[in-house]
Amino acid sequence: MTDTQHDAPDVHAITVDVDGTTERGVVSSRTLLVHWLRDELDRRGPKIGCDTGNCGACTIQWDGLLVKSCMVLAVQADGTAVTTAAALAHPDGPLNDLQSSFREHHALQCGYCTSGMLMTATDLLESGEEITDHSVRRALKGNICRCTGYQGIVNAVRATAGHDIPLPHGKTPDTHGAGLDGGRS
Amino acid sequence: MTTSTTTAATTTATWSGQSVNRTEDDRLLRAQGEFGDDTPISRLAHLFFVRSPYAHARIVSIDVSGAETVDGFLGALTPDEVDELTDKFGELQVAPADAEVDRCLASGGKVRFVGEPVVAVAAVSREAARDAAAAVVVEYDELVPLTSADQAVAADAPVIHEGIGHNVLHHGAWDFGDVDFAFQHAQNLIEVDELVCHRFSATPLECSVVTVDYDAGTDVFDIIGGCAMPQFTMLMMAGALRHPSSRIRIQSRDFGGSFGVKIGMYVPATAVALMARKLRRAVRWTETRSEHHQMGGHSNERTFRNVRLAVEDDGTVLGLSYECLDDIGAYSRYEPLGSVIWAQVANACYQLKHLRVDFTSVYTNKGPTHPVRGYSRLQHMWLVERMMDLAAHHLGFDPVTFRLHNYIQPDQYPYTTVNGCVYDSGDLPASLRQALELIDYDDARRLQAAAVGTGKRIGIGIGSTLDSGTNNFGQARLMNPYLPFGGNTEGGLVRMGVDGTVFATTGGVAFGQGHETTTAQVVADALGLRPEDIHVHRGGDSALSAQTGFSGSYASQFAVTGIGAILNATAKLSAEIRLVAGTVLGASPDEIVLEGGFAKVDGDPERMLPFGDVAGIVHFAPGSLPAEVADEVGLVGRAVYRAPFELPDVEHKTGNLTLTYATQIHACVLEIDEETGLVEVLRYAAVDDCGVPINPMIVQGQVFGATAHGLSAALFEHFGYNADGQLLAANFYDYHAATALDMPTIAYGNVVSPSPFTPTGAKGMGEGGGAPLHAVSAAVQDAIGRTGAILNSHASPEAVLDALAGAGADKVRVL
Ligand code: FES
Ligand code: FES
């Protein structure tokens, strides 16, 4: 259907708390939340890896719930709060523990799935559920990664929960280079 | 200055060889990367393709008038227009197959696979572009679709490309040693009627994204998008667009995976470029997941027939012969090279003396094949592994002992294969023993015995494979002797900025392999700095003059050619720094060492210059230098690494086709449910030997990633088509890419056999994706025993049930 077939323009004003900032926008009914966040707000955390809600690259937190933002319409988000991966660490501060652990355990390669993985893992860690290899894998089953084989990701999440996970091959705890904070602070 | 003195002046390796954290990670973890669809562009138009719903049809009419009424519509591009504005893409194959008409929109009045782009429309928003595309009406007249290679070569088959006259793209007869003699004299002959390596792909999580801006003032196309082989892409586009390649710039930033497939980006990119020029504004095409599955590039689907393996009573394998039908889909694109690239690993991991292959690549009405992780080699090696395994089972050898007996032995390197390739180094027996230890082989055999009669079966399988790295492009001449390719190079550029900062640019682009980090590690060592002091440009930019014609990330070559070029470039820069410092400090350049950001006179710590001063003098006070120094020094090192290849012998199809051979030995223990056919991997080990690693953590990550691709392909992924030519796996519901829950924990091991042929002893790696296919097939076979035969690389539950019921057994004979 084309816009020309409507009498009134199909637009809605929305106000959404995104990563702690009040964002206002004008969207059409069919605008997906992921597109609004990306195209209008330049939030690069949620990414699109499929058209069907399978890959989890677009995962965000929405009013405390973990959701795939390609499955939500932007109008539905009116008056709610959205958190994307960009909010996990202060832009000028160090990486948070989970992000640092991802770095130490080589939990990312191309980085395309990473924001979604971080959001899902954060949700799991906050859920109070017992963290085991299996519970981490089960929690991550809606997030596809095509690079890492998941092993580094599972290790990174478990290490964040305090499990004693050996570092990747060839790494000693006293590794050269930037430290756990990612070298930015 | 020559570069030969640099070794003495270079500090010893502090960073190379260390598992340093990746520089890339910080921005990626903070969601500050810049992937294809992230780059903000003002006044961006969006392009959407109208695609064919038919596998094979004649286009009767195209009506775009509906699109023109859609709000926000900007323009359309039709096949007629493309025919007028472009030439066909450069074809790599010989006549008559080079008559194929390959353009960015359906050409010759036909469509040849479901999902082929027919019309491109552009609009001001993604939504408007979709609406406009939906309003385009294309009328088709259906033709008979060819959905298998057998149909394509049948005598009365309809022709997919009329200009060629038949459906064969390439036929190659390969004959090494004396296969007939081997078969006549061997004590045993294993014969298999048919084996099939199935169609799947790497399906990177980021689909293709191409943004093109056209600057009418300078007549330059500025292309942004994940491009795995920039100069090749530029050449293909320049020819098609009739545009000087000097006026095409290709950039990429962050890159969400390719694993080979994005080498095909020049096809849609050409349509985007035409649209950008037509509209005089920037245009972006963001591929959807379904589009990617339809035409983003599939792996080589091969049917092997009349496969014969000659084996002596003591288990010594003598020779192998087979016929192969390679289904390349509707267009050859980069693909025809797959018909010769398998020959890089003609021997697989074995001391094979005789080999005969009759290889035919054919067109069908399926999505085009592209290079996919393990490109063309994994299919050949899967076949060899499968035959070794079947031979062991049927002749009563233990599969482990059988492999150990036939493996190339450590003291045989460098080992020359039947077709003249030189395997550089390796220790397969040690790798296998490590893999068996990691799965606790004896315990697994005990488990297997204990499972008998429980409704579950346990199987143990081994997958042995090679990552052939840095291919000799002269190999293309084995398919087409007129191609001007020979050897291989990669480029690199290392320079010092006005304040002494060091910048490095590689010719290749990374899609997750950590090039920024490894580049910084080796440059840091060569200049006496720390990795974080080196600014490595992310992505690629054809305007930065680091690239050579073969630049790119493919064929497991970065650790050799990419790093080799960076080392050579750094040596040039280092020589200039030492020349300047020596001049200022009154020493000879040979006496200068680079350490901690200073150029120092060796043994005289008082006499030193910080890098900032070196740069300051060259950039701002050249008058203080003697003319012969000031005129010489630009503080830019640009160099290539040329792999030491000669051209292959086209007549005999022999020659050294690859520089390095990393080995991967995988072992798996899996359980089959006799009732459902479901396979569960219980234990998995991957042992790699890629020579001297630059960053062992990154190597391990590549091994894990390749293993996941292979396991997922073996167990889940399949690009099946129905008889109408409809793809049955057009999204991630139907195409199940392994999730964390599907993957076992992988036990990792490594063996280091330094390559004698490369600058650092490193070998390219990362494509061991074949090993899990071999290992899973072998393990399923092991679980089933001789009741059935595993003759397809896809261990779907249905296939496992069939094998349990005895399928395939009648196709295997011991003569
Ligand atoms: S893009 Fe939302 S789940 Fe894949
Ligand atoms: S790191 Fe590339 S998809 Fe996960």
**Per residue in B354-407, pLDDT tens?**
999 999 999 999 999 999 999 999 999 999 999 999 999 999 999 999 999 999
Quick check: is B662 in a domain? yes
Amino acid at A36: W
Protein residue whose Cα sits closest to atom 4 of ligand 2: A145
Confidence category of residue A7, pLDDT binned at 50, 70, 90: low
Provide DSSP, B427-451: -HHHHHHHHHHHTTHHHHHHHHHHH
Higher pLDDT, A15 or B769: A15
A147:B35 CB<8 A: no
Only one residue has tokens 């490193």, namely B762
* Same-domain check for residues B468 and B577: no
Our count of domains for chain B comes to 3
What is the ipTM score, two decimals?
0.96
Peptide bond into B96 cis (omega under 30): yes
> Tens of pLDDT along B402-457?
999 999 999 999 999 999 999 999 999 999 999 999 999 999 999 999 999 999 99
**Mean pLDDT score across all residues of chain B:** 95
In this prediction, residues B799-806 reach a mean pLDDT of: 97
Max CA-CA distance within chain B?
89
A178:B532 CB<8 A: yes
Q: How far apart are CA B268 and CA B117, in angstroms?
A: 9
Provide DSSP, B449-484: HHHTTTTEEEEEEEEEEEEEEEE-GGGGGGT-TT--
Evaluate if residue A126 carries a pLDDT over 90.
yes
Quick check: is B163 in a domain? no
Evaluate if residue B2 carries a pLDDT over 80.
no
**pLDDT computed for residue B1 by the predictor:** 29
Atom of ligand 1 nearest to the CA of A70: 2
In a 10 Å sphere around its CB, with 0-12 CB exposed, 13-18 middle and 19+ buried, how is residue B484 labelled? exposed
Protein residue whose Cα sits closest to atom 3 of ligand 1: A53
Q: How far apart are CA A135 and CA A124, in angstroms?
A: 9
**How far away is chain B from the Cα of A79, in angstroms, using its nearest Cα?**
24
Q: How far apart are CA A180 and CA B537, in angstroms?
A: 23
Quick check: is B161 in a domain? no
Q: How far apart are CA B547 and CA B285, in angstroms?
A: 25
Evaluate if residue B5 carries a pLDDT over 50.
no
* Same-domain check for residues B626 and B759: no
Quick check: is B743 in a domain? yes
How far apart are the CA of B234 and the centre of ligand 2, in A?
27
* Same-domain check for residues B262 and B319: no
A137:B737 CB<8 A: no
A11-83: CATH number = 3.10.20.30
Give residues with Cβ within 8 angstroms of B16, minimum separation 6: B521, B522, B525, B694, B760
Please choose from A52, A113, A140 the residue to mutate so as to test ligand 1's pocket, defined by most ligand atoms within 8 A of CB: A52
Q: Which chain B residue lies closest to A107 (C-alpha atoms)?
A: B701
Q: How far apart are CA B468 and CA B381, in angstroms?
A: 12
> Tens of pLDDT along B190-223?
999 999 999 999 999 999 999 999 999 999 999 9
CATH number, domain with residue B226 = 3.90.1170.50
Name the residue facing A103 among B21, B701, B707 (closest C-beta): B21
Atom of ligand 2 nearest to the CA of B205: 3
A169:B699 CB<8 A: yes
Percent of chain B with pLDDT over 70: 98
- A97-161 placed in CATH 3.90.1640.10: no
A145: chain B residues, CB-CB within 8 Å: 205, 740
End-of-domain residue from the set B643, B661, B677: B643
B260: chain A residues, CB-CB within 8 Å: none
Contacts 24+ apart (CB under 8 A), A66-72: A66/A119, A66/A120, A66/A123, A68/A142, A69/A32, A69/A33, A69/A34, A69/A37, A70/A32, A70/A33, A70/A34, A70/A46, A72/A32, A72/A33, A72/A34
* Same-domain check for residues B224 and B196: no
* Same-domain check for residues B275 and B139: yes
Q: How far apart are CA B761 and CA B16, in angstroms?
A: 12
**pLDDT computed for residue B334 by the predictor:** 85
Domain boundary assignment for chain A: 11-83, 97-161
Is residue A146 within 6 Å of ligand 2 at its C-beta? yes
Q: How far apart are CA B88 and CA B265, in angstroms?
A: 15
End-of-domain residue from the set B609, B643, B677: B643
What is the torsion angle, in degrees rounded to the nearest 10, for the CA atoms of residue A116, residue A120, residue A121 and residue A126?
A: 140
* Same-domain check for residues B329 and B350: yes
Q: How far apart are CA B538 and CA B33, in angstroms?
A: 10
**How far away is chain A from the Cα of B705, in angstroms, using its nearest Cα?**
4
Amino acid at B463: G
In this prediction, residues B605-619 reach a mean pLDDT of: 96
Q: Give the number of other Cβ atoms within 10 Å of residue B676's Cβ.
A: 11
**pLDDT computed for residue B556 by the predictor:** 87
Measured in residues, chain A has a length of 185
**pLDDT computed for residue B13 by the predictor:** 85
CA-to-CA dists, residue A39 to A34, A43, B126, B206, B808, angstroms: 8, 8, 10, 17, 53
Q: How far apart are CA B408 and CA B405, in angstroms?
A: 9
Confidence category of residue B605, pLDDT binned at 50, 70, 90: confident
**pLDDT computed for residue B3 by the predictor:** 28
End-of-domain residue from the set B612, B643, B674: B643
Q: Give the number of other Cβ atoms within 10 Å of residue A3's Cβ.
A: 15
Evaluate if residue B7 carries a pLDDT over 60.
no
* Same-domain check for residues B623 and B713: no
* Same-domain check for residues B358 and B459: yes
Contacts with B, A 28-47, CB within 8 Å? 28, 30-31, 35, 38-39, 42-45, 47
How far apart are the CA of A67 and the centre of ligand 1, in A?
10
Pairing of strands B502-506, B534-536: parallel
* Same-domain check for residues B502 and B578: yes
In a 10 Å sphere around its CB, with 0-12 CB exposed, 13-18 middle and 19+ buried, how is residue A133 labelled? middle
**pLDDT computed for residue A176 by the predictor:** 44
* Same-domain check for residues B353 and B466: yes
> Tens of pLDDT along B234-264?
999 999 999 999 999 999 999 999 999 999 9
Name the residue facing B705 among A88, A148, A167 (closest C-beta): A148
Strand order in the sheet with B502-506: B534-536, B502-506, B489-496, B636-642
**pLDDT computed for residue A21 by the predictor:** 97
Quick check: is B16 in a domain? no
- pTM (predicted TM-score): 0.96
Evaluate if residue A181 carries a pLDDT over 70.
no
**pLDDT computed for residue A177 by the predictor:** 43
Q: Which of B15, B18, B20, B21 to mutate to test the interface with A (most CBs of A within 10 A)?
A: B21
* Same-domain check for residues B672 and B606: no
CATH number, domain with residue B555 = 3.30.365.10
Q: Which chain B residue lies closest to A103 (C-alpha atoms)?
A: B25
**pLDDT computed for residue A174 by the predictor:** 60
Strand partners, B215: B220
> Tens of pLDDT along B512-550?
999 999 999 999 999 999 999 999 999 999 999 899 999
Confidence category of residue A173, pLDDT binned at 50, 70, 90: confident
Give the residue from B111, B227, B212 showing the smallest Cα distance to B553: B227
Domain carrying residue B583: 488-643
Q: Which chain A residue lies closest to B208 (C-alpha atoms)?
A: A49
**What 3-state class would DSSP assign to B684?**
strand
Give residues with Cβ within 8 angstroms of B621, minimum separation 6: none
Quick check: is B479 in a domain? no
In this prediction, residues B285-295 reach a mean pLDDT of: 98
A109:B743 CB<8 A: no
* Same-domain check for residues B128 and B234: yes
A147:B202 CB<8 A: no
Under a CB-based contact definition with an 8 Å cutoff, are residues B304 and B315 in contact? no
Higher pLDDT, A117 or B333: A117
